[in-house]
Structure 1
């Protein structure tokens, strides 16, 4: 027998487009957290669970694993671009944001090594384009005559530091990243996300 709702019972409101925007943001946040803990091979179901949505919602926003990773990486790169465009931007401050993303995201470290990406050419092309955007941001803040001013020196240094970013906790990864920058003789500002 079908039950009809009583007049004072109400269904939850359908937020429509607002829910879609909120769900997408929750999925990206969840993916960033899951990837930081478990790497890029973490199950998509874990991301959906962490975001508090069903897998169908995840697939409506992101058709596959690569699309989820691309959304996380795009957000990382946008923060770096915003940091570089800030009025008081310095190489040290932007490197602080880059280092924060490196300590938070295994996916971001993969991006910084885009030239080593194997497999699908579309994924490699996207990673290379994002990596080039990071390099443009850093080069735009690089003082004249800086020790990392050589053709490949800047991104090689970033890749070397990201290779040192290991450890079970974010704090340990940050400590190692800062030690690597120090060994390279490069000043790094506060290790934090850019919050505009």
Structure 2
């Protein structure tokens, strides 16, 4: 993935409502969070829906972004993975308490290319790669010992050689249709700016919202 070029002229006055590109602004805020958040500045709440329309939400880690979208990784056989593949839609929420900022993103989701997933998988610690094989994510687990037994099995299976990426483990890319930026202000008179577009390659529109 390529880095997003930051439009510093849009951001130097501190009024993020003047930013023209939401990806540039997102990159600026994520960089700020990396300097102030004590843990996982790339953590986000990911919301999906099941076959009945009931929502599910959980925390995941953003592993990359560019103007094509926002990427995270998961087990496709988990509840999360099955809901993402079935609905093809999701929402994200970043909240950085140290900065009093929040970003909400909504859009469509699709698997990343195999080559992209392979590259990220190879960058993970060996224990995490073993874990991707050992964990039948979201399914009932009889005991902690049963999980440790699976870890031992795959540790022995792959020995000291390469650990291939499981077919059921890969990345998802959320392609945003809307990105909303929120910044805390005194007396709950917060700043809210919403970017929207009607197609993945369409132009962004922007408007302020009442707090």
Structure 2 length normalisation: TM-score? Answer: 0.29
Between the two structures, name the one with larger relative contact order (CA 8 Å, sep ≥ 6): 1
Question: Counting helix residues as a fraction of each chain, which structure ranks higher?
Answer: 1
Question: Counting strand residues as a fraction of each chain, which structure ranks higher?
Answer: 2
Structure 1 length normalisation: TM-score? Answer: 0.31
